[in-house]
Structure formats: C-alpha cells, structure tokens
Amino acid sequence: MRLPMSKARLLLFALGAACLVPLLSRLPLVDTMDRHGLDVSFMLRGHESPHPRIVIVEIDDPSLAAIGSWPWPRSYHAALLKAIRQNKPDVVFYDIVFPEASSEDEDQIFSEEIKKAGNVVLPYYFVSSSPKNFWENQAVMPIRPFEEAARALAYTNHFRDRDGRTRELTLTVPGEKTPRMQTSLAVAGQSRGFDRRLPDSLKPGQPTLINFPSPYEAFRRISFIDLMDIENPTTAQLFKSFEGSIVLVGLTATGTTDLIPTVYSPVYPGVGMQACMIHTLLTGKKIVRMPALIHALLAFLFILLGLRLSSGRHPLKGLFEMTSCWILLAAGVQIAFQEYGLWVPGFGIFTVSAAVFITGLLLQFLKTRLDRELMLKELSLAANIQKSFLPSPLGPQPGLRVAGVNFPARQIGGDLYDLHLFEDGRLSACVGDVSGKGAPAALFMAKSISELRREAPGKNPAAVLAALNANIVREGSAGLFLTLLYLIADPKSGTIIFSSGGHEPVYHYRAHARAVELRTTKEGLPLGILEDAVYVDAQAKAASGDVLLLISDGVKEAMNARREMFGAQRTCGALIEAAHEEPQAVIDHILLRIREFVKDAPQHDDLTMVCLKFL
C-alpha cells in the first residue's frame, strides 16, 4: 500500500534522525550524559556480592605505621609472598611496579619467592596516554630478576572518561607476537573457572566496561600488618582463606596509591578497580553496550512517538503521554541493565525524541495560531457583512424618533433588528433572536432579515410572522428557530400594532404616569417550530413623550460575576431614568447601567435594542 506523501516524509525524517542518534552518542556531551546514566543504573541495581575467591591484601595506613614509611625492604614482600604461597592460592597479583633495584640480597630474596610461587603476575605500565601508542620501548617494566621470575607480566594502565571517572579497561592491545594483556585479564586467565575463549573474542584496543559489584569495602580485605602478627591466633585462619583464591596485593595507604573516581566512590583504590574487573571476567556478567543498529531502531520508535504525540492532540495530553513513554524508556533501560547487562545509551534517544516532540508542538502551535488568525480575519469579514444586513440609521421623522444597536457576544451573532419607513409615514420595527451562536446563527439571521423584508410590505405584523414562520419550517434550518417581535407604529394617530413570536415584550414607557408597561400577545410560538403556528396582532396607543423599547433577551439576562441577571426590573428602571432623552441617549443610558452591573464579567449573549419615542 502506498503511503501518503506526508506520512512517507515523516517516516524518512524519523529514519534519518534515528540514524544520527548512535553518532550523537559519540559526542562528548552526549557520551558523558550516557555514562552518568550508566552510573545511575548501577546505583538503582544495588550492591552485588563480589566474587568470593577474590582476596585483597592491603598495604594500608596501619601497616605503614607499624613497619615504617614506604618503600619497604623487599624482604617484607618476600615474607608475605612466602606465607601466601604456602596456602596454595590460584594466582597472586602484586599491584606494585618494581622498576628500580634495591640491595642485591633483598632483590634476590624476593625474586626467589616469586619463582617458587610460580603463579605471580607482576604489573608494568606504558607511559603513553593512548592504547594505540603502547610500545614496548615506552613501557616501565619490573627489574629483570622479577620479570624473569614472574608467571606473567601485564600492563596496569587505565584511562578516565571525560568526567574523570573510570568505567572501562582496555584488556588487550596489539603486541609483536601476541596481544598484550591488562593485569585483570592476566590474573583472571591464571585462575580456575575462567573462560579460555574470552581473550580471543576481545578486539585489541577495544575497551571493556567494568561491572562494579559494590563499594570497595564489600571485598574481602586483609591488612598486611595483620598477616605479620604470627602470634595472633586468627592469623592462621587468615592465611587459610588464601587457599584456591585470587590474591591481590596493593597499596591503599594514604598518599601511596592512585585514588580513582568510579561509580561508587571518588576515591576507589586502584587495586579495587582491578578486583572489580576480575570479578566481571570470572562471573561472566559483562556490561555490553547496545549495538548501534538496535540503538537506531529504538531511537526510530521514540522519534515516531514524538511526531505522533505532538500532532493532532491537546499539548498537555501529548506531553503527559510522551513523558509516560520516556518513563517507560527509563524503566526498560534499567531492566535491560539488571537482567541482561545491556547498557542502553538513552540520553541521545531522549534528546532527539524530545527535540522532535517540542518541535512538533511548536509547529502545531504556529499552525493553530495561523489558522486562528485566518479564522479571525474571516470572522471580521463576516461581521462586516452581517452589519451590512442591519438597517442604516433613520434620521428624524415627523412625530417620531428612533434608534437601534446590536452588540454580538462574539464577532458574529444571531440577534437582528430592522427598521422600515412606509410611504404613509408609518414605521415598522422588529427585534429577533436566533437560537444558538456563532456562524450558523449569523447565517440564519441574515437569511431571516432578507425574508422578513420580502414578506413585510402590505401585511400586518401577525401575517408577516406567519409567512416568515412557514418559510423557515418549509426550508428546514438545521434545528434553528427564531424569536421575533414585529411592530408598526403610526406617529400621526399614536397607534401601535405588534405581534410576537415567543419574544421579549415591548417596554412601553408612559410619560404621563412615569411608569413602564410590558406589552405582549397571548399567542405566538418562536418561528421555525410548527408550520401552522398561530400569530395574533395586539394594539396599543402611545401619547406624546411615550417611549417604546424592544430588546433581545441578552439585555435582561446580562450577568455579573456572581451570576446575577440584570433583569426586567432594572431594565425598566434604566428606561424611566432616561425616558426624557432622545432614543439614542436612552439606549446609551441602559448600556451604561448594564456595564455598571456586570463590571468585568464577560458578555455571554448577544445584546440588541430598538427605541422609539413619540413627539
């Protein structure tokens, strides 16, 4: 099935962005954040028990205090090594480089013990800061007697990440005949239970992540000075713990060793880091970085989610759903790490998917804003067109003054009014209110005014309403209906004839009584409900100074912040206060009273008034 072009482009965009994620993960900032995420995974996993066969002999502060400042005579190392080898350990790693000779006797004693043990691994180190430049002529080696006596030699170099922490070791580097081994791999390779195929599977120069089991204090540790206390009954028990073990001898005393920042501590002893790598190799619980292809596929999935959730949804709902997906990603990363030792560099995925999601939201916002501006322009044009349907102001007429206003609650509304001067001097006025608001009501209003003007000539108000009602019902108006009050006033005789189709009554101010009477008809349903609805005419007399006020329900139903309505009583009061003024002044005064009543409350309904005053 062929995808629409827009979807095909989105898929191509997501695929291209996903392919960039593994590359982004190599950038310094992204790589550092991913490695901090790895640290968090270690912390959330919790502590594991170190491999039980690993024993660390510490040359610590108490040992230096008892024996003397460093370096010690090598006879002390020979004595320690003799005591250890007699308890048959698998392998002994002396994490101390002896690059310079001391006295001949001291060196001979120690070299003989190394040779007798037959399982001692000694370290050396390269002066280069990169495994690519590890050359033998740049290595700092043990002195020749120790080198010849040792079972194996291995380099002890380690490298820190950009944030200063050590998280991985390069276990092999190219050599002249065979790859050179790092000390932890050499030590593990001399012990029982080690997978002999592992060195062949390691790519020379490729770093291997350390699976730190726990803080350094969790390893089995024995102080050098405790082993020298032969008279202590527990010393023999300590030596027995060396049987079948991997014994690491290293400096932990203050100022004598490198303190390496790691996951669990900023001052992790170097011998402890070697112990962690040996633990990783012996347990087989390696930490493996997610392959680039799977990394890209996972990123592709989250980029698609970012595109999907940022379009066609409410921004808050999309943000909640995308955040939920990121939380699931974090949970999945942790599960993959704990259960399978898989390191998923998630920061790049999060960054790119978040950028795509935020960009999608911004584009949606801009599109919505442009659509809104376009709609507002169209509504403004529609409002101007709707105003053109309303009558032009009528100048002073013999014996009569008239004015009208219309204020939609929105840009366009459903209220209408009309004024028409007959040739015989009579004046017709009407006010109507379409059910509903917005564009449908506005269109219905325009149609109703047109039909009203067509039906009105030569008919009395009831006949006009009946004809207009029949047209609306017959044509069907999508469920809309219209309330309407139609009135004909004769200024010569003071006669008023009106008919109501479910509309507000006429507010008739009588000047001689300074009071308002509400005039309406007994019958008259809103227009557009029943085709055979009955409408009747009613008559009244108006004297000089009388005022007629026709309103839509938006006048008396204007509400303040307390949800109180302006009401008919306040409308009557405002009319009485200004009845001595011209019609336009009467309308302005009523509007003023409404504004004072509602204050800052928004207008919720259309508001229309027509005012006639007899002279």
Determine the Cα–Cα distance for residues 112 and 146; give it in Å rounded to an integer.
9
For the chain of 615 residues, list the mean pLDDT of each consecutive stretch of 10: 58 84 88 93 93 93 88 90 89 93 92 94 87 75 94 91 91 81 91 72 84 93 84 75 91 82 88 94 90 91 87 83 92 94 92 89 85 77 70 81 88 84 89 82 81 84 91 78 92 93 94 93 88 91 94 92 92 94 94 93 89 93
* Closest C-alpha to 234, from 223, 244, 219: 223
Give the pLDDT of residue 133: 73
Q: Taking the model in full, what pTM does it have? A: 0.66
**Long-range Cβ contact pairs of 580-583 (< 8 A, separation 24 or more):** 580/545, 582/401, 582/403, 582/613, 583/401, 583/402, 583/403, 583/547, 583/611, 583/612, 583/613
Cβ–Cβ < 8 Å for 517, 474: no
How many residues in total does the chain contain? 615
Q: Which residue has the tokens 């939201």?
A: 361
* Closest C-alpha to 321, from 333, 305, 332: 305
Determine the Cα–Cα distance for residues 516 and 546; give it in Å rounded to an integer.
10
What single string gives the DSSP state of each residue in 285-316?
--BEEPPHHHHHHHHHHHHHHHHHHTSSS-HH
Beta carbons within 10 angstroms of residue 86's beta carbon: 13
* Closest C-alpha to 407, from 385, 421, 434, 387: 387
Give the pLDDT of residue 70: 85
Alpha helix ranges (H) inside 406-460: 438-455
Give the pLDDT of residue 6: 67
State the pairing for strand pair 54-59/246-251: parallel
Cβ–Cβ < 8 Å for 444, 459: no
* Closest C-alpha to 107, from 54, 49, 147: 147
